[in-house]
Amino acid sequence: MKKRIFGLETEYAIIIAPDVKSSFIPSRYEIFHVLKDVIASHYSVLHSKEVKAGVFMQNGGRFHHEACLNALLEGVVECSTPECSNCRDVAVYGKASDEILEEMRHELEEKFREKGFKGSIFFGKNSRDSKGNFYGTHENYLVDDPVTGSKRIFLFLTVFFFFSIFLIMIIIFNLPVLLFMLIISLLFVLLCIINLPLTSLGIRLKIIRKLGESILDILKTMVSPMPSLFTRIFGEIFRFSTILWAYSCGFFSQTDSFYGI
């Protein structure tokens, strides 16, 4: 095999199995944040300050939280091996990730028992869970870029321009949604202003209360980090647009090599 650098990214499902007497069930996002603190108490780590909020391990690997915009409190734990030069090291580091998670699992359960959780927490490998999260293993390779010279510049500029136009279209598409949220928010505030003096006079109109509750439910659905039909559609459209634009920027800024899957 040609000498090159490669590695693995493995996504682990967070499986929560609460007992019927459990008074508290943590979200997968909460579990991850406690998990990284537990890992940091046993290993030398470097905390990442970017969105995925992971930790870099002493061996060069990394644990972080992987979630979509439409399910921020769900998601999976993703572990990346360090860059390796042979298959044996990749397999060893991948197995080490399994062992670390299993080692930390029981202490993780104890942390949540203090908060009222009764049950078990597991980490599993599969392809999709009941929340719609996909997870598996990605193979990463450092390879030579076959496009060079003027062809490379033309390709990157074209991709960058096309996806920039696409992103602008998505922003324009999102404007009516944001305007709708503003209008119903102002309507809710207006209902509160109208209802306040009426309530002080002992007058309670059911229509105002029902209308206010309906508007509040809509707003909660639109801004909730929990998955719903709206957040899935809106989140996937936004994610698709930003991913394409980010990739175009990445292509444009690359020099001599890129990571492929």
pLDDT tens digit sequence for 118-161 = 989 998 886 666 655 566 777 777 766 666 777 777 777 777 77
For residue 261, is it within any domain?
Answer: no
Residue 191 CA to residue 209 CA, distance in Å, equals 9
Q: Which two tokens stand for residue 52?
A: 């995925």
Answer yes or no: do 91 and 159 share one domain: no
Q: What is the mean pLDDT of residues 206-226?
A: 77
The model carries a pTM of: 0.59
Name the domain boundary from 100, 122, 144: 144
Give yes or no for residue 92 having a pLDDT over 90.
yes
The whole-number pLDDT of residue 258 equals: 42
pLDDT at 99: 92
106 to 5, 111, 124: CA distances (angstroms): 35, 9, 15
Per cent of the chain over pLDDT 90 is 13
Given a cut of 70, whether residue 227 has pLDDT beyond it is: no
Asked if pLDDT for residue 261 goes beyond 50, the answer is no
Res 39: pLDDT = 92
Count structural domains, the chain: 2
pLDDT of residue 190 exceeding 90: no
Look at residue 73 in the predicted model and tell me its pLDDT.
Answer: 67
In degrees, rounded to 5, the angle at the alpha carbon of residue 223 between the alpha carbons of residues 190 and 63 is 155
> By residue range, what is the domain housing residue 193?
149-255
Residue that terminates a domain, selected from 123, 144, 165: 144
Q: Does residue 88 form part of some domain?
A: yes
Whether 115 and 217 map to the same domain: the answer is no
Residue 29: pLDDT band with limits 50, 70, 90: confident
Residue 22 pLDDT = 84
Tokens of 7: 């590695």
Residues 171 and 109 in one domain: no
